[in-house]
Amino acid sequence: MIAAKELARHFDVSKPWLQRTLAREPKRILRAVDGVTFDIPKGTTLSLVGESGCGKSTVARLVVGLYPPTAGQVLFEGKDLAAARAQPEMRRRMQMIFQDPYASLNPRWRVHDIVAEPIRAFNLVPDPAAQRERVAELLRQVGLSPLDGGKYPHEFSGGQRQRISVARALSSNPEFLVCDEPTSALDVSVQAQILNLMKQLQRDLGLTFLFISHNLAVVRQVSDRIGVMYLGRIVELAQSENLFLRPRHPYTRALMEAIPDLEMTGRSRTPVGGEVPSPISPPSGCAFHPRCPLANDRCRAEAPAMLDGVACHAVQEGRD
């Protein structure tokens, strides 16, 4: 359903032209996403994970057309999204669930108006009475009462607000949902409720998900495939269980070591050393080499290509 081909997004973070000219400074380009390729078959879930600042949320916004790509393209059922995103039907078929349920809902609107906004925008149900019935149905679908439609967002807990966000996303009858860390602002017990709700909706409605998270324990519950991102690139892409049973890239292994697990108590762990490099001036060769225990001269000079689901010279040469 969705395919990204060498997708890139760069941001100009330079000083104003006059200041830059007087100081004789070059332009500063932040490479938030730098050559990402993946595809998502219909009815499945692809998750992107990685440290904060690796470009996950930028990929999410590129996929739904909120950002135009600097290079590459996004294909929706084979059609270039950049050329087709102005079509109302294309926009109706993809929706986004945002990270913070406290910021993504209009505090001045009642829940009924929030959920009904996409219905009105796409003119899906012209009759006001039918609109009210459709909103009531959506609220029941996400585990809320139709009477909640008359309340304001501040009257709900964080988990209930995220359910409202899910109902709003479903109101345009989409086929593809981008979930940008939808559980990171919620308590652990509420996270489980939202994840179970999303899995149930996927089974019932045949939805396709792009799930963004920095929590590997969360994405294991919902993903068919997982892509691990580092500094704007995907360094490993594999089936969910294969990634957890046999992580191959050194960065993926380091992320696995950081997952809390009672069975690993007392076992020595090696944390990832160093700092995340700046995307404004990334390292030469493999971006992970300053922190990688397996790096050699080739890693410092040559960026690895994605082969058999992993981009790592050490793995490809058998040095792991």
193-225 pLDDT tens trace: 778 888 888 888 888 999 988 878 788 888 889
Residue 261 reports pLDDT greater than 70? no
Q: Is the pLDDT of residue 83 over 80?
A: no
Kindly write down the DSSP assignment for every residue of 106-165, as one continuous string: -TTS-HHHHHHHHHHHTTS--SHHHHHHHHHHHHHHTT--GGGGGS-GGGS-HHHHHHHH
DSSP state of 24: T
Task: Give 243's pLDDT tier (boundaries 50, 70, 90).
Answer: confident
Q: Which two tokens stand for residue 249?
A: 């890239």
Calpha distance 90→283 (Å, rounded): 39
Closest CA to 180 of 49, 4, 39: 49
User: pTM for the full model?
Assistant: 0.85
- For residue 293, the 8-state DSSP code is T
pLDDT confidence tier of residue 77, bands split at 50, 70 and 90:
confident
Quickly count: other Cβ atoms within 10 Å of residue 274's Cβ: 9
Q: What angle do CA 157, 198, 200 make, to 5 degrees?
A: 120
Gap between the Cα atoms of 45 and 50, Å rounded: 17
Tokens of 197: 């709700």
**The pLDDT of residue 178 is above 70:** yes
Report the C-alpha gap between 211 and 56 in whole angstroms: 9
**DSSP, res 283:** P
Torsion of CA 227, 309, 94, 103, to 10 degrees: 10
